[in-house]
Structure 1
């Protein structure tokens, strides 16, 4: 197996296993100036912040989850689906369509930094997250303990707040390491992007939760596939809009590609916050 095959085959069981897996992939992408690094770098920052919240470190000195172990397991499922997506072109052309757009544009180097970020977020949230949440609910027997579902929903929503708090750090890091002007956009919009991103993230993660419950309510593989196909179709439609190649978006895309870095250089990765 090649080094890339080893990375794509990673299947972490929890957040502690997910972090070094992501580090391996980021170093691999950076060594090759691979644009797939952009989304993964943002995802890595979010994962570190969730890890801090789970372990009550850094800014998260008080517990914010009912069941931190469930959240850690959820992160493992979620990361495993991301690594699986790296081999999406080996599978059915109609499967994982949002990931095919995201990884395809990154490998073609035809996208802006913002597009790489948004395409990855769309595929990972609107396609992967519902199924990953379903797998985690099944693993913990939540389909037979219905009163546990509101507790899981609370923890799911708590992650929303971590995502929103991560936006400034993501914008600063991506602009510094990859160019693209996301940090300048934040300053120009005077914080409006945080409001809009927060609203959008909450909206889509709310939809994802109910898709996960739809998975949980299925009675056979055919019904599971029905839910899967809806997520596939909906995430693909949003991917098409983000990947807009029309003449109307040409000036923005031209500027965006002109100010992004072609060479990434060495990567200095943030590390998990240590305990006291």
Structure 2
């Protein structure tokens, strides 16, 4: 297998370029969005999804999931995850910890996943449920290791994100982006590989993976508004017109597409420790590079949100 093939390099370069675009586009002053602008319709994220659907999954043999977490794909697994997320968020919110930003966002995303699964949105609910539960446990384990002082066991992208939260060097939006990057780009490939990329009948799970892009789009505004109301009043104050929605949705889609390709590379190198180490290093470096680029965005820095902690002290509820 040629791990550093042209398609892989092209995807990686494109994703890095999209993040660079985010850095440049968010460097200017806030602007007002015009929802009637035809450009907003032309650049709708819905246009991107057919293109992503054309990026077919690589043939990957079916391997049954044998992990102990949510072994049967029972819907109760997501209910249990939500309960644990709520329990973990409460003390973070009460203390105005900067870790509360992603904790809240992740809770809302998981609640949205449950609602989608309950409505029949996904083709393979059991698989999606297992992915959700294993993914969340990876986050719980990372946070537990960090708070216990086992920081050297935490991946580089996560160290950047969690140290920034501890040091209070980022705005609320900055904390959100750093944590989102670490969890998606560093953790998600391992989760997909572990739970499986292919169903027992040989069909790929990629359509279900792609399907959640639209759901994420619907979450940005309500979650950002809640973050602003509770933790950082500047969280939702930057609106750069239709282009900002395009950039954010494109970045997330680019990340999630790269996640799938990294998961395929992990699956292809099972049983080959040398090649697997190459893939694992690639994943870690990619996520860390994204984190370093995020830290270049001016509005992601703490100086852009000077009243954040004072606001949280009276509004964190």
Tell me which interval the TM-score lies in, with the shorter structure as reference length: 0.7 to 0.9
**Aligned mate of 1:24, from 78, 87, 100:** 87
- Structure-2 residue corresponding to 1:226: 278
**Aligned mate of 1:158, from 171, 194, 211:** 211
Q: Any residues of structure 2 matched to 1:24-63 within 5 Å, and which?
A: 24-56=87-119, 63=120
Q: Any unmatched runs of 5+ in structure 2?
A: 1-67, 71-76
The whole-number CA distance in structure 1 between the counterparts of 2:223 and 2:300 is 21
- How far 1:197 moved relative to its partner? 1.1
The whole-number CA distance in structure 1 between the counterparts of 2:316 and 2:201 is 45
The whole-number CA distance in structure 2 between the counterparts of 1:204 and 1:27 is 29
- Structure-2 residue corresponding to 1:81: 138
Deviations 1:193-240 (A, max 9, x none): 322211111111001001111111113262333322211111111111
**Aligned mate of 2:223, from 158, 164, 170:** 170
> Are residues 1:147 and 2:202 paired?
yes
2:308 counterpart SS class: coil
- How far 1:190 moved relative to its partner? 3.3
1:148 counterpart SS class: coil
- Structure-2 residue corresponding to 1:4: none
Using a 3 Å threshold, how does the CA distance of structure 1 residues 12 and 267 change in structure 2: closer, same or farther? farther
* Alignment TM-score, normalising by the size of structure 1: 0.79
**Aligned mate of 1:105, from 159, 164, 173:** 164
Kept in 2: contact 1:167–1:194 (CA 8 A):
no
- Structure-2 residue corresponding to 1:71: 128
Deviations 1:52-103 (A, max 9, x none): 00001xxxxxx3211111111110011011111111451536x510100111
Root-mean-square deviation (Å): 2.4
Report which stretch shifted further, 236-245 or 66-75: 236-245
The whole-number CA distance in structure 2 between the counterparts of 1:18 and 1:12 is 11
User: How many corresponding residue pairs?
Assistant: 239
**Aligned mate of 1:260, from 308, 312, 315:** 308
- Structure-2 residue corresponding to 1:212: 263
> Are residues 1:122 and 2:181 paired?
yes
Using a 3 Å threshold, how does the CA distance of structure 1 residues 264 and 231 change in structure 2: closer, same or farther? farther
Q: Any unmatched runs of 5+ in structure 1?
A: 1-10, 57-62, 269-276
- Structure-2 residue corresponding to 1:7: none
2:305 counterpart SS class: helix
- Structure-2 residue corresponding to 1:237: 289
- How far 1:22 moved relative to its partner? 0.6
1:185 counterpart SS class: coil
**Aligned mate of 2:194, from 117, 122, 135:** 135
The whole-number CA distance in structure 1 between the counterparts of 2:208 and 2:183 is 18
Of structures 1 and 2, the larger Rg is shown by 2
Deviations 1:117-175 (A, max 9, x none): 0001100110011111111117xxx38x57222xx100001111111111111111111
> Are residues 1:90 and 2:90 paired?
no
The whole-number CA distance in structure 2 between the counterparts of 1:121 and 1:24 is 20
The whole-number CA distance in structure 1 between the counterparts of 2:152 and 2:277 is 14
The whole-number CA distance in structure 1 between the counterparts of 2:233 and 2:278 is 38
2:186 counterpart SS class: helix
The whole-number CA distance in structure 1 between the counterparts of 2:257 and 2:78 is 22
